[in-house]
Amino acid sequence: METLVKLFGGQARIKIMRLFLLNTQTFEIEEVITRSRVTKANARRELNALTAMGFIKHKLITKEGSRGAKKKVNGWHINPSFQYLKAVHDLLIDPDLLLQEDLAQRFRPAGKIKLMIVSGVFVGDSKSRVDVMLVGDKLKKNVLQQIVKGLEAEIGKELDYVVFDGDEFKYRLEMYDKLVCDIIELPHHKIIDNGQLSTYISQK
């Protein structure tokens, strides 16, 4: 991320650019602030800069007020005609770059993880059913949620993730659960592996 920050002028800009690159809808400023976890001042500055360079487009959207009255509010969406859209997408959404983040270290506060597999956005496969699978006993769900929210802000999209305890994972594997089988049979990367479950998987 450090190199990208220097190249694009700040972490806030990278987060907001990724948000628009990975989502086609129109966002209000409050949604940009919430999804990207940036300050209102940073959001305004970056939205103005990205609009000026043609990366995103401004659009007035109709919204229903508290008493049913309709009002116009500011919104922004990706500009599909932006000249360097593909080049910027390939750079900011590069799976290899996303994998350079120390994902194992970031997830450690959630507890003792036996197996962590990433797919989806981390391997450049939009058809993957999940982006992260975690296996561990007594993992702290509230901590996990905060970690995932932080990653979502940096990556620019909501992450699909699943959490299993060791016994449930083994049971699902024995029953040839489609979700688990898809995860381990389709493209993925193992980020954390204590060896026990890998041996179990190889026997199935």
Whether the predicted pLDDT of 125 surpasses 90: no
Last residue of a domain, one of 66, 93, 120: 93
Residues 121 and 189 in one domain: yes
Q: What is the pLDDT of residues 23-79, one digit of tens each?
A: 989 999 999 999 999 999 999 999 999 999 999 999 998 877 667 778 889 999 999
- Does residue 191 sit in the same domain as residue 103? yes
pTM of the model: 0.74
The neighbour count for residue 34, using CB atoms within 10 Å, is: 14
> What three-state secondary structure class fits 161?
strand
Q: Are residues 72 and 46 in the same domain?
A: yes
Whether the CB-CB separation of 39 and 73 falls below 8 Å is answered with: no
pLDDT score recorded for residue 103: 86
What is the CATH classification number for the domain harbouring 176?
A: 3.30.460
Domain that holds residue 31: 2-93
pLDDT value at position 18?
93
Listed in sequence order, the residues at least 6 apart from 27 whose beta carbon sits closer than 8 Å to its beta carbon are 19, 20, 35, 75, 76, 77
Q: Write the CATH number for 76.
A: 1.10.10.10
Instruction: Specify whether 54 is located in the same domain as 127.
Output: no
Mark whether 15 and 84 lie in a shared domain.
yes
Q: What is the dihedral of CA 149, 158, 7, 41, to 10 degrees?
A: -60
Residue 70 pLDDT: 81
Residue 3 has pLDDT above 90, yes or no: no
| Same domain, residue pair 74 and 125 | no
Residues 51 and 142 in one domain: no
CA distances from 61 to 26, 34, 45, 73, 75 (A): 8, 19, 20, 5, 6
Do 111 and 170 have their domain in common? yes
Same domain, 103 and 44: no
With bands split at pLDDT 50, 70 and 90, how would you rate the model's confidence at 10?
confident
| Residue 134 and residue 162 in one domain | yes
Using the 3D structure, point to which of 93, 114, 148 is the last residue of a domain. Answer: 93
C-beta of residue 17 within 8 angstroms of C-beta of residue 84: no
Same domain, 196 and 118: yes
Query: How many structural domains does the chain have?
Result: 2
Do 69 and 139 fall into the same domain? no
Task: Quickly list DSSP for 108-147.
Answer: GGG--EEEEEE-GGGTT-TT-S-SEEEEESS--HHHHHHH
Last residue in a domain, options 56, 77, 93 = 93
